C-alpha cells in the first residue's frame, strides 16, 4: 500500500485547481432541486465542460489515484456533482469499460463522457432489493433479442434516463446467483413505463419501472449470458469503492460548518456536543484514509476496488447519519425546516444504510470474504 502522491499526480492536482478556479465563477446558478429536466441539462452541460477541458474521462480511463484527486479537488472547490450522470459515470460506464466489448465501449462510453446520454440503474425489485440475487424480472431469448418482463423499483434517475443498466434472470432453473444477465436497455423502448417515486425529502430521483415484453437486442448484453452476477459485482465494487469519495470530502466540510454554527449560537458550550463532533472528525479522517487505501489497492490490482469498499460503505453510511443528527441538534427547531440543505441531507442520509447494499449485506460480505466464516443456508 502506498498513500503518497507522485510528482505527476501533484501536477495534475495543481492544474485541476487552476482550471476550477477559472471556470466555476462562470457557471450559471443550479436549477431547483425538483426540476429534473433542468437538472439534467445543467449536469450534462457541466460534464461537457469537463470533457472539453480534458477531464471527462477521469472516471473511466484515469488511474484510481487520479480519479480520487479529481473527486477531492472538485468537491473542495464546490464544483457541481455528477448529478444526473451518477449512474453512467460511476456505475455503468466503469462496468462497460471493464467488461464490455470494443464495440460496446465505442458505442456507449463517448456519449456518457460528453454528457449526451443519461443512464439509470435497474437492479432492485419489490421483492429483491437488498437480496439482489432474488430478482425475478425475466428475459427470454427470441432470435437476436431478449424479451424482458418484470418490474424494477428505486431506479435512480429513470425519469430522465436514455439507457438502463438492467439485471434480468435468463435461466430460472439455475441457482439464484447464476442465471442472471446484465443488459443495456433503451428507456424509450416500447413496453417501458416509468412512474416516479417521491422520497421522504420530497425529491423524485427514484422511480418504479414496469417492463412489458420489452425487446432488448442481444448485442446490448454486457458479459456472457447467465454471467451477470459476476459483472454486477464489478459494478457494485465501483459503487462501494470510490463512488462516495467526494461525499466524504463534503461531510468533512459540513462538519467544520456545524462547529462554526455551534460556536455562534452557544451550542458549543455543551461538552457532550463537542465530544461528539470531535469523534466525527476522527471518523471522517479515518474514512478518507480508508478511501485512499482502497484506491491504492485498486491501482495495484487492475483498477477494480476490493472488499475494502464494503468496510468503507458500512461505516460511512452510519457516520453520515450521525453527522446530520448532530446538525439537527445544532439547528434546534430549525431542523424541521425542509428549505434548509442540512434538513434535506438529514432525511436523505436515512437511505444510506439501505442504498448500494444494506449494512446487513456488507456485514455478510465481510464475514464470508474477509473473515472466512461459512455462508448461511
Q: Rounded to an integer, what is the distance from CA 113 to the centroid of its chain?
A: 16
Which grid coordinates are listed for 176? 439464484
Q: 73, 99, 239, 297: which is the annotated catalytic residue?
A: 239
Tell which residue, 289, 295, 308, 354, has the closest CA to residue 59. Answer: 295
- Report yes or no: 354 and 130 within 8 Å, Cβ to Cβ: yes
Dihedrals phi, psi of 100, to nearest 5 degrees: -80, 165
Write the Ramachandran bin of 183: left for phi over 0, alpha for psi from -120 to 50, otherwise beta.
Answer: beta
Q: Is the dihedral of CA 176, 181, 184, 186 positive or negative?
A: negative
Please state, in angstroms and rounded to a whole number, the distance separating the CA atoms of residues 117 and 372.
41
Contact 181, 228 (CB under 8 A): yes
Cell 464494503 belongs to residue: 310
Q: In 3-state terms, what secondary structure has residue 273?
A: helix
For residue 169, the number of C-alpha atoms closer than 13 Å in the C-beta half-sphere is: 22
- The CB density around residue 43, as the number of other CB atoms within 10 Å, is 25
In the residue annotation, 239 being an active-site residue is answered as: yes
Q: DSSP 3-state assignment of 167?
A: strand
Cβ-Cβ contacts under 8 Å for 114 (sequence gap 6 or more): 47, 48, 51, 56
**CA gyration radius for the chain?**
21
Q: Active-site positions?
A: 239
Amino acid at each position: 500500500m502506498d498513500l503518497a502522491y507522485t510528482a505527476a499526480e501533484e501536477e495534475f492536482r495543481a492544474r485541476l485547481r487552476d482550471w476550477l478556479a477559472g471556470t466555476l465563477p462562470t457557471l450559471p446558478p443550479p436549477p431547483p432541486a425538483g426540476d429534473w429536466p433542468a437538472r439534467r441539462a445543467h449536469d450534462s452541460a457541466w460534464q461537457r465542460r469537463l470533457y472539453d477541458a480534458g477531464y471527462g474521462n477521469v472516471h473511466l480511463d484515469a488511474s484510481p489515484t487520479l480519479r480520487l484527486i479529481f473527486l477531492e479537488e472538485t468537491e473542495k472547490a464546490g464544483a457541481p456533482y455528477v448529478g444526473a450522470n451518477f449512474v453512467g459515470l460511476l456505475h455503468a460506464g466503469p462496468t462497460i469499460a471493464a467488461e464490455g466489448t470494443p464495440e460496446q465501449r465505442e458505442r456507449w462510453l463517448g456519449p456518457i463522457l460528453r454528457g449526451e446520454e443519461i443512464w439509470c440503474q435497474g437492479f432492485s425489485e419489490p421483492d429483491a432489493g437488498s437480496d439482489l440475487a432474488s430478482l425475478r424480472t425475466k428475459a427470454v431469448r427470441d432470435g437476436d433479442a431478449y424479451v424482458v418482463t418484470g418490474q424494477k423499483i428505486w431506479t435512480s434517475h429513470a425519469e430522465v434516463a436514455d439507457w438502463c443498466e438492467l439485471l434480468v434472470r435468463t435461466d430460472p432453473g439455475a441457482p439464484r446467483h447464476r442465471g442472471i444477465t446484465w443488459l443495456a436497455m433503451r428507456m424509450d423502448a416500447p413496453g417501458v413505463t416509468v412512474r416516479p417515486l417521491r422520497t421522504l425529502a420530497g425529491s423524485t430521483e427514484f422511480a418504479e419501472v414496469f417492463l412489458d415484453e420489452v425487446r432488448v437486442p442481444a448485442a446490448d448484453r454486457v458479459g456472457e449470458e447467465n454471467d451477470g452476477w459476476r459483472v454486477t459485482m464489478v459494478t457494485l465494487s465501483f459503487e462501494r469503492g470510490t463512488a462516495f469519495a467526494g461525499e466524504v470530502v463534503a461531510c468533512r466540510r459540513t462538519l467544520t460548518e456545524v462547529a462554526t454554527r455551534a460556536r455562534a449560537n452557544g451550542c458549543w458550550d455543551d461538552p457532550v456536543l463537542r465530544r461528539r463532533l470531535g469523534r466525527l472528525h476522527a471518523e471522517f479522517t479515518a474514512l478518507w484514509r480508508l478511501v485512499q487505501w482502497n484506491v491504492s489497492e485498486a491501482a495495484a490490482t487492475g483498477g477494480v476496488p476490493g472488499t475494502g469498499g464494503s468496510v468503507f460503505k458500512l461505516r460511512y453510511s452510519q457516520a453520515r447519519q450521525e453527522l446530520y443528527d448532530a446538525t439537527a441538534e445544532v439547528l434546534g427547531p430549525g431542523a424541521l425546516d425542509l428549505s434548509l440543505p442540512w434538513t434535506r441531507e438529514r432525511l436523505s442520509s436515512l437511505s444510506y444504510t439501505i442504498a448500494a447494499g444494506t449494512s446487513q449485506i456488507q456485514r455478510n460480505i465481510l464475514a464470508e470474504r474477509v473473515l472466512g466464516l461459512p455462508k448461511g443456508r
